[in-house]
Structure 1
Amino acid sequence: MSLISLGSILSPEIAKSVGQLDFSLAEWDRNPRIATLLSKTVLKGGKRLRPLMTFMVADLFKLDHAEVAPYARFVELVHASTLAHDDVVDNADVRRGEASINAVASNKRAVLAGDYLLSYVLQEIASTGRNDLVIEMARIIADLAEGEWLQIENADASHLKWTDIESVALHKTGSVLRWSFAAPALLANMDEPFIQKCRRLGEAVGIAFQMTDDILDFVRKDGAEGADVKNRVINAVIFEALALKYQTEMLDMSKIQDLDISETLDTAVLKVRARVDHLVKECHELLHEIADEFEQKRGIRVESAISSLDTMINFLAQRI
């Protein structure tokens, strides 16, 4: 199933709203050369998953798409900034089947372009006067940097545990999807305990999404397959495979140079798949808890939005 085939569960309004988002940065002309580079690389194409999820959650809370649209756009711009930075850190030369931003320009320009996007987003959110949303996004940006840092540390950690792998997934992927669930709740002026549940739902969806991506790293055929092994990025599958190979739950990566996991790969994939299934169950339970509580507080229940989110959660974790 692809995002395109999910059209049957998405409202025409969501498809229209996502399609109308402008990622050209045309209105911010401080340096059109940077904007042009971004438009040709990390802002070109993509599934627009994060804006899509933002609008889906907005429907759950009966928010107007025009109000939510800027915030759906912001999360995609932040995601694009992480792609620019990741391509440098991972020494990538391909992104979505085309030359990566650092291959098109240079490592230095790719980093600066990513920074440019982040500053743009924070400036734009600040201009709305919503300090709570500025803080929310600033925390996400901090989590993204920390996640990349932790991932680098994991490559040579002497006491690498599963929780370290999960922490990277939470910081690098869960944090961005956290926005798709928390920002609409903030815009709906919900209380902090409610917003915290939305944050956790976004994080759980993001972790499940990342672990599925880790599995896909061994089966994809887009030019980027096997990138994590090549770059010594210890993803969920690699960790489980090495743990099986060395029969331990705590790895000393400082003594493991050979990442040959061919003998334990299949079993490792099954273990990660089971972890994803557990996360998906948590996501569904949290979603319905949030929907029930919103109905109690506001007297509103949008069954179509709940059903669409249930289906989307399943899709994100079952793309293999």
Structure 2
Amino acid sequence: MPETENSRKPHDRMAAYLADDLAAVNTLIRSRMASEHAPRIPEVTAHLVEAGGKRLRPMLTLAAAHLCGYQGHFHINLAATVEFIHTATLLHDDVVDESGQRRGRPTANLLWDNKSSVLVGDYLFARSFQLMVETGSLRVLDILSNASATIAEGEVLQLTASQDLATTESIYMQVVRGKTAALFAAATEVGGVIAGAPETQVRALSDFGDALGISFQIVDDLLDFQGDPGAIGKNVGDDFRERKLTMPLIKAIARADAEERAFWVRTIEKGRQQDGDLDHALALLTKHDALGDTSRVARSEAARAKQALAPLPNHPVKEMLLDLADYVVERIS
């Protein structure tokens, strides 16, 4: 059956609608990731930037600016800024997590080394600040610098909480707000700010990004246990093997009896995993409806994202954003 405009995924429709802007963002990214003195910088950056990702975060910035009627060109700077911040965090995350695969491809730290990944990530952070300063907006600088600090804070919190069975859903949500939702919220908020939108609309865009980012991350954590490895670009159960306490595990552990808790202590806290442990973990998640409950939280956040857009004017982009919130959770149906 041929694909129609309405049958395409919302981020694909948005990419088509914003095609000219995205082309300008890509041109700017390529020019700013160049380095006269250190050729490894564009090599490492290109590996991630050209990896075929959806460019979701920069698209959110462009979409927000369009939705608020922006006529200038600084939304291109801000979209590139958001992509550089995101790429820098991915480079650093893969070193911290000792990851060997991202989006179905070898990670930069595997192809080069940890030192290159960390230093190129630092370079991209610096480039992102140059880009946002060029807009001349102190408020934009405030929003994106705060988001950068919050992302780092979330990653450090995850480092200390990930293998501690005392980690609560509240702590998990704090991690998610930091490592994922902060950049989603900043990406949409700065699009409204650069357009000079009314404060109610700027706040609505920020709230939309926050809720969408939380839903997006919870769904990713769910897909780790029930997704298609080809579609998610990693193996099912990677979070369990890496002993990351995501929402499904936290819910199952909270409902565990003494024997089940001993299993979680051995596999997560002490890291003594053996053949069959993933299957047993999945059985416990099913027994306690941890996956179903987590899915309901993700859907609730997606609904909150849609409600947040109420103050924004009717616009084709608004419809795409509403559809995007639905699509994020459709991945788990």
TM-score (norm 2): 0.83
Among residues 6, 11, 18, which one is paired with 2:10 in the alignment?
6
Structure 2 SS opposite 1:262: helix
SS in 2 for 1:51: helix
SS at match of 1:263: helix
Q: 1:310 aligns with which of 322, 325, 328?
A: 322
Residues 96-148 of structure 1 deviation map (CA, whole Å, 9 limit, x = unaligned): 11110100111121111111110110122123322211111111111111111
In angstroms, what is the RMSD of aligned CA positions?
2.7
Distance 1:41 1:187, change over 3 A: closer
Equivalent residue for 1:296? Answer: none
- Percent of pairs with identical residues: 25
**Does residue 16 in structure 1 map to residue 24 in structure 2?**
no
Distance 1:4 1:112, change over 3 A: farther
Confirm whether residue 263 of structure 1 aligns to residue 283 of structure 2: yes
**1:237 and 1:272 in contact (8 A); partners too:** yes
Offset at 1:10? Answer: 3.2
One-letter code of the match for 2:87? A
1:59–1:302 Cα contact (<8 Å) kept: no
Deviations 1:209-249 (A, max 9, x none): 000000111223134432211211111122122223349xx
> Which AA in structure 1 matches 2:114?
N
Partner Cα separation in structure 1 for residue 158 and residue 8 of structure 2:
32
- For 1:234, the equivalent position in structure 2 comes to 245
Contact 2:101 2:107 in 1 (8 A): yes
Distance in 2, Cα, partners of 1:8 & 1:225? 26
- Tell me, yes or no, if structure 1 residue 274 matches structure 2 residue 296: yes
Count of residue pairs the alignment pairs up = 306
The one-letter code sitting in structure 1 at the alignment partner of 2:73 is: A
Instruction: Report the Cα offset of residue 172 of structure 1.
Output: 0.6
Equivalent AA in structure 1 for residue 45 of structure 2: L
Pairing 1:38–2:45 present: yes
Partner of 2:187: 180
Partner Cα distance (2:95, 2:33) in 1: 25
Aligned residue runs from structure 1 range 177-256, under 5 A: 177-190=184-197, 192=199, 194-218=201-225, 219-221=227-229, 222-246=233-257, 256=265
Are the aligned partners of 2:193 and 2:202 in contact in 1 as well (CA < 8 Å)? yes
Q: Which of residues 131, 134, 142 is equivalent to 2:141? A: 134
Q: CA deviation at 1:194?
A: 4.6
- 1:80 Cα shift? 0.8
SS in structure 2 at match of 1:302: coil
- Taking a change above 3 Å as real, the CA distance of residues 27 and 131 of structure 1, as seen in their structure-2 partners, is farther
Residues 13 and 210 of structure 1: is their aligned pair in 2 closer, same or farther, counting only changes over 3 Å?
same
The range that moved more, 80-89 or 122-131, is 122-131
Structure 1 stretch displaced more, 113-122 or 54-63 = 54-63
Deviation sequence 1:155-192 (CA, Å, 0-9, x none): 24363211111111110110110122101111122455
Q: In the aligned structure 2, how far is the partner of 1:31 from the partner of 1:6?
A: 38
Over 3 Å counting, the alpha-carbon distance change for 1:76 and 1:129 in structure 2 is same
1:76-109 Cα shifts (integer Å, max 9, x gaps):
1111111101111111111111110100111121
Structure 1 runs (4+) deviating above 4 angstroms are 191-194
Structure 1 unaligned runs (5+)?
A: 292-300
- Indicate how the Cα distance of structure 1 residues 65 and 129 shifts in structure 2: closer, same or farther if over 3 A, else same: closer
CA distance in 1, matches of 2:133, 2:11: 34
8 Å contact 2:163–2:244 — kept in the other structure?
A: no
* 1:306 shift after superposition: 2.0
Query: Which ranges in structure 2 are unaligned for 5 or more consecutive residues?
Result: 269-276
Quote the residue 1:297 is aligned against. none
Question: Which deviates more, 8-17 or 161-170?
Answer: 8-17
Between stretches 61-70 and 275-284, larger displacement belongs to 61-70
Is this contact kept in 2: 1:133–1:183, CA < 8 A?
yes
Given that residues 58 and 65 in structure 1 are in contact (C-alpha distance below 8 angstroms), is that contact kept between their aligned partners in structure 2? no
Q: Distance in 2 between matches of 1:256 and 1:310?
A: 41
- The alignment partner of 1:63 has SS state of coil
User: Which amino acid counterpart does residue 21 of structure 2 have in structure 1?
Assistant: S
